[in-house]
Amino acid sequence: MSDIEKRAITRRGFLKAAGATAASTVVESAHAITKDLRDSANGPAPLGPGAVPFVLHVNGVPHSISIEPRMTLAEALRDTLGLTGTKVVCDRGSCSACTVWVDKVPTLACMTLAIDVGMRNITTIEGIGNADHLHPVQAAFVKHDALQCGFCTPGMVMSCAALLERNPNPSLDDVKHAISGNLCRCGTYPKVFAATLEVAQDRKALSRPVSTSNGKDA
């Protein structure tokens, strides 16, 4: 297969396109179905075990998807929405590689059921920066070489960026505490500390808040 053909129909591209189409057409009906289920009897109706329609709000965009109740948020983000920036390593809550924000609170996507997220806002690494517009924490990670294999990096960035959201002037201990759940097998911690503290310093020098999104509603 030629490069052009590959680019034309990549798996990720296909998933993204399919997801976008579905999102625009099914959002309303899914809301209606969910509402009907709640109102249908006395109290809430059990959902599943088969796939049920569900709306997941990710990076400011509602995505209408069909999920089994057993699907984790990490699986929904990666496998259903194609947002593979969120990494799954241990799948047991032990490494924090899958850290995303649920209403801005750092949360483990692998130990959260997608169906349990309800109307809350999910922010993933794709929601805070991209290759053209890096989040300041991402830019500082690049500058300080705060990654080696990079697999823990999205979760690490989400933890550090969340810290700066709630504490614009963190101490070294604050940074250590904020990433105390994020395991890095490559041992990049000192550079992660330096990168995060520099973002706080730069921000103070410019006396403007850290940009937390690249234009989307993160």
Partner 1 sequence: MNRFTFVDCTTVAEALDHLKQGSVAKAGGIDLLDLMKDGIVSPSMLVNIRRVKELHGIETSEQGLSLGPLTTLSELAAHPVIQKTYTALSDAASHAATPQIRNMATVGGNLMQRQRCWYFRSSEYNCLRKGGSECFAQKGENQYHAIMGNEICAMVHPSSTAVPLMAFGAQVELTSKKGKRTVPLNEFYIRPDESLLDETVVKSDELITRILVPAPAAGTRSAYQKYGEKESFDWPLADAGVVLVMDGNTCRSASIVMGVAAPTPLHAKAAEVVLAGKTIDEATARAAGKAAVDSATPLEQNGYKVQLFHTVVYRTILLASGQLKRDPSAVGGMA
Residues numbered 44 to 63 that lie near partner 1 (CB under 8 A) are 44-50
From 6-14, 80-88, 102-110, 131-139, give the range in contact with partner 1 by CB under 8 A.
102-110
In DSSP notation, 140-206 reads HHHHHT--SS-SSHHHHHHHHHHHHHH-SS--HHHHHHHTTT---TT--HHHHHHHHHHHHHHHHHH
Region from 18-26, 69-77, 78-86, 133-141 binding partner 1, contact rule CB under 8 A: 69-77
Q: Using CB under 8 A, which of the segments 6-14, 42-50, 135-143, 144-152 binds partner 1?
A: 42-50
Burial 22-41, CB ≥16 within 10 A → b, else e:
bbeebeeebeeebeeeeeee
- Give yes or no for a cis peptide into 190 (omega within 30° of 0): no
Distances (CA, A) of 83 to 100, 103, 115: 12, 18, 17
Which residue, 115 or 197, is less far from partner 1 as judged by CB?
A: 115
Determine the length of the chain.
Answer: 218
Task: Check residue 159 for interaction with partner 1 (CB under 8 A).
Answer: yes
- DSSP letter, residue 119: T
Among 64, 86, 112, 196, binds partner 1 (CB under 8 A): 112
Rule CB under 8 A: is residue 93 a binding residue for partner 1? yes
Interface with partner 1 (CB under 8 A), residue from 30, 56, 59, 72: 72
Answer for the pair 83, 77: CB distance below 8 angstroms, yes or no. Answer: yes
Candidates 173, 187, 205, 208; binder of partner 1 (CB under 8 A) is 173
Give least dist CB 71 to partner 1, A: 9
Contact with partner 1 (CB under 8 A) among 6, 12, 35, 70: 70
Question: What is the CA angle 125-129-132, rounded to 5?
Answer: 140
The answer to whether residue 32 forms part of the interface with partner 1 (CB under 8 A) is no
Residues that bind partner 1 (CB under 8 A): 43-50, 68-70, 72, 91-94, 96, 99, 105-108, 111-113, 115-116, 118, 159, 173, 176-178, 180-181, 183
